[in-house]
C-alpha cells in the first residue's frame, strides 16, 4: 500500500470534513429557520384565530337571536302540527329529535341563523341574517385548512429535507473522493517507482531506468533520474577506465624500463661478437647480427611507445576553436596520404571547446591516421564538427572496411601488437586524453560505410565545461 497515496486521501478527508460539516450545519439551520417561518405554521395559527373569532361571532348571534325570539313583537314563522306533512326536512328533523329548541344555519353557504322552538301548536322558526358572513362555508374552509396543516405535519418536511441534504452532501463528497483516489494513485505510483529506482541505483543496479512519457513535474523528475543515471553510469565507466589506465601505465613503465635495461647490452654484445668474428664467417654473422639488431630496434620503438603511453602530459585547458584544429590537422596529414580524399562538414557556428590543445590534436591525429590506414589510397574521409546541447562533437568517418569484431571488443584497451605498423595503444591514449579534457570518445554510426568515431568535448560556456574527469 502506498503511504503517500493514503496520506493524500487522509489529507483530503481531513480537509473536507470540516467544510462539509460546516456546510451541512449552515444548510440545516437555514432549513430550520425557513421551516420555522413556514406557511404551515402561519396557516395553523391563522386558522385557529379565525375559528375562535367565528365561534365567538356565532355564539353572539345565537344569544341575540334567542333574546330577539323572547320579544313578543318578534314574528316567527309558524309550522303547525296539522301541516306537518308539508314541513321542510330541517323542521321535521328537529321535531323528530324531541329537543325544545335548536339552532341551524340556513341560506346560501349558511349566511342565516335559524332558531327552531317547539311549541304546543307545532314549531316556531326565528331567522337572523348574519350580514353576508357564510358560516357554513367558513367552517368548511377551517376544516380544509386544518386538514392541510395536519397533512403537511404528517409528511415531516424537516426530516425529509434534512435527509435529502445529507444525502446530497455525502454524494458530492463521495463523487469528489473517487477522482482524488485516482489522482493520488497516479501521483504516488511514479514516485514509488522513482524511490525504488533510486534505492536500486544506490544498491548498485546501474542499468535501472524508469519509464518516461509523463508531461508534468513527476515526468520531469523521472527524466532527470534517467539522465542522472546515464551520467553516473558514464562517469563510473570513465572512472573505471582511468583507473585501469593507471595500472596499465604502471605496467608499461616497468616493462619499458626492464626492456630498455636488457636491449642495450644485447645490441652491444651482438656488435662485439660481430667485430671479433674471423673473416671466413663474417658474412653469415653480419647477416645474423643485422636481423638481431633490427628486432632490437623494433623492440626499442615499442619501448618508446610504452614510455609515451605511461607519460602524464600536462593538461592545460583553454578555449579551442575546433574547426581551426581540424583544418590544421587535415592540412598537415593530407600530403602523407596523397590518394585519399578528405572532406569536412564543419559547424558554421565555430564551436569552441574547453580542452587541452595538444591532447585534442593528438586525438585527432590518431583518428585521422587510423582512418587513412583503413580507407587506403582510393578511399575517403569525412570530418564533422557540431555544437550540441551537451558539448562539441567531432566525428571522423572513413570508407574503409570498418571495425573487425576483435578490434571492436577491445578498441580502447591497450594491446601489445607485433604487427608492422601501429602499437595498439593509439585509441587508448586518445580516450585517456579525451577523458582528461572532460570528454570522451565513442564509436558512432558510420556515414561512409567504414568506421566512425565521435569525440565529445565540453563546450566553452556549457555547465560542466572545464572540469576534467
Ligand atoms: P594502432 O596503433 O594499432 O592503430 P589503435 O589503438 O589506434 O592502435 O587502434 C587499435 C585497432 O583498432 C587497430 O589495430 C585497428 O584494428 C582498429 N581500428 C582503429 N581505427 C580503425 C578504422 N578507422 N577502421 C578500422 N579499424 C580501425
Q: How far is the CA of 24 from the centre of ligand 1 (A)?
A: 82
- Contact 426 CB / ligand 1 (< 6 Å): yes
Cβ-count burial of 287 within 10 angstroms (0-12 exposed, 13-18 middle, 19+ buried)?
exposed
CA end-to-end distance (rounded Å), the chain: 43
- Contact 439 CB / ligand 1 (< 6 Å): no
Per-residue pLDDT at 14: 86
Does pTM top 0.85 for this prediction? no
Q: Which of 83-97, 257-271, 345-359 has the lowest mean pLDDT?
A: 257-271
- Contact 116 CB / ligand 1 (< 6 Å): no
- Contact 379 CB / ligand 1 (< 6 Å): no
* Three cell numbers, residue 353: 571547446
Q: Cell match 562538414: residue?
A: 345
- Contact 427 CB / ligand 1 (< 6 Å): yes
User: Which atom of ligand 1 lies nearest, measured to the CA of 414?
Assistant: 6
135-162 pLDDT, tens digit each: 888 888 888 888 888 887 777 777 788 8
List, in sequence order, every residue forming a beta bridge with 320; answer none if it has no partner. Answer: 353
Phi, psi of 307 (to 5 degrees): -65, -40
* Cα–Cα distance for residue pair 456/447, rounded to 1 Å: 17
Average confidence (pLDDT) over 29-38: 72
Q: Cell match 645474423: residue?
A: 288
Per-residue pLDDT at 276: 82
Quickly state the pLDDT bin for 246 (edges 50, 70, 90).
confident
In 295-304, which positions are buried (b, 16+ CB within 10 angstroms) versus exposed (e)?
ebeebbebbe
* Cα–Cα distance for residue pair 405/382, rounded to 1 Å: 23
Q: What is the mean pLDDT of the chain?
A: 86
Q: How far is the CA of 311 from the centre of ligand 1 (A)?
A: 21
Quickly state the pLDDT bin for 443 (edges 50, 70, 90).
very high
- Contact 400 CB / ligand 1 (< 6 Å): yes
Average confidence (pLDDT) over 284-312: 83
Best residue for ligand 1 mutational test, from 302, 425, 427, 445 (most atoms within 8 Å of Cβ): 427
Which residue has the CA at smallest separation from atom 21 of ligand 1?
370
Per-residue pLDDT at 128: 92
207-240 pLDDT, tens digit each: 888 888 778 887 888 889 898 989 888 888 888 8
Instruction: Give the whole-number percent of the chain exceeding pLDDT 70.
Output: 95
Per-residue pLDDT at 420: 56
List, in sequence order, every residue forming a beta bridge with 81; answer none if it has no partner. Answer: none
Which residue has the CA at smallest separation from atom 23 of ligand 1?
371
| Pick from 411, 317, 410: nearest CA to 359 | 317
* Cα–Cα distance for residue pair 33/23, rounded to 1 Å: 15
pLDDT value at 351 more than 90: yes
Amino acid at each position: 500500500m502506498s503511504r503517500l497515496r493514503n496520506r493524500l486521501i487522509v489529507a483530503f478527508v481531513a480537509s473536507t470534513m470540516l467544510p462539509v460539516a460546516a456546510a451541512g450545519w449552515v444548510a440545516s439551520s437555514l432549513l430550520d429557520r425557513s421551516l420555522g417561518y413556514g406557511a404551515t405554521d402561519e396557516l395553523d395559527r391563522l386558522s385557529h384565530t379565525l375559528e375562535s373569532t367565528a365561534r365567538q361571532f356565532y355564539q353572539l348571534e345565537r344569544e341575540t337571536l334567542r333574546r330577539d325570539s323572547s320579544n313578543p313583537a318578534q314574528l316567527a314563522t309558524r309550522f303547525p302540527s296539522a301541516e306537518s306533512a308539508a314541513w321542510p326536512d330541517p323542521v321535521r328533523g328537529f321535531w323528530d329529535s324531541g329537543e325544545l329548541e335548536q339552532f341551524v344555519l340556513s341560506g346560501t353557504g349558511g349566511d342565516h341563523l335559524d332558531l327552531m322552538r317547539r311549541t304546543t301548536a307545532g314549531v316556531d322558526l326565528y331567522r337572523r341574517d348574519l350580514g353576508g358572513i357564510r358560516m357554513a362555508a367558513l367552517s368548511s374552509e377551517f376544516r380544509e385548512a386544518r386538514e392541510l396543516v395536519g397533512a403537511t405535519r404528517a409528511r415531516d418536511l424537516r426530516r425529509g429535507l434534512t435527509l435529502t441534504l445529507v444525502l446530497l452532501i455525502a454524494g458530492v463528497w463521495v463523487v469528489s473522493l473517487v477522482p482524488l483516489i485516482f489522482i493520488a494513485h497516479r501521483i504516488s505510483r511514479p514516485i514509488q517507482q522513482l524511490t525504488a529506482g533510486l534505492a536500486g541505483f544506490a544498491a548498485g543496479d546501474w542499468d535501472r531506468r524508469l519509464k518516461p512519457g509523463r508531461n508534468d513535474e513527476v515526468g520531469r523528475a523521472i527524466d532527470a533520474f534517467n539522465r542522472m543515471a546515464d551520467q553516473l553510469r558514464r562517469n563510473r565507466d570513465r572512472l573505471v577506465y582511468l583507473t585501469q589506465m593507471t595500472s596499465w601505465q604502471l605496467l608499461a613503465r616497468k616493462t619499458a624500463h626492464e626492456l630498455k635495461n636488457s636491449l642495450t647490452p644485447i645490441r652491444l654484445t651482438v656488435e662485439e661478437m660481430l667485430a671479433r668474428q674471423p673473416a671466413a664467417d663474417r658474412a653469415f654473422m653480419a647477416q645474423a647480427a643485422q636481423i638481431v639488431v633490427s628486432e632490437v630496434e623494433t623492440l626499442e620503438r615499442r619501448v618508446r611507445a610504452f614510455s609515451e603511453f605511461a607519460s602524464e602530459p600536462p593538461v592545460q585547458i583553454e578555449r579551442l576553436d575546433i574547426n581551426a584544429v581540424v583544418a590544421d590537422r587535415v592540412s598537415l596529414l593530407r600530403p602523407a596520404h596523397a590518394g585519399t580524399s578528405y572532406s569536412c562538414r564543419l559547424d558554421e557556428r565555430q564551436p569552441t571547446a574547453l580542452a587541452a590543445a595538444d591532447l585534442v590534436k593528438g586525438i585527432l591525429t590518431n583518428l585521422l591516421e587510423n582512418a587513412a590506414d583503413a580507407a587506403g589510397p582510393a578511399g575517403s574521409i569525412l570530418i564533422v564538427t557540431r555544437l550540441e546541447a551537451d558539448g562539441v562533437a567531432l566525428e571522423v568517418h572513413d570508407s574503409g572496411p570498418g571495425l573487425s569484431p576483435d578490434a571492436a571488443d577491445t578498441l580502447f584497451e591497450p594491446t601489445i601488437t607485433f604487427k608492422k605498423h601501429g602499437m595498439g595503444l593509439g585509441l587508448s591514449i586518445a580516450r585517456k586524453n579525451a577523458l582528461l579534457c572532460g570528454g570522451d570518445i565513442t564509436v558512432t554510426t558510420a556515414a561512409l560505410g567504414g568506421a566512425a568515431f565521435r569525440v565529445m568535448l565540453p563546450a566553452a560556456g556549457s555547465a560542466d565545461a572545464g572540469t576534467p574527469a
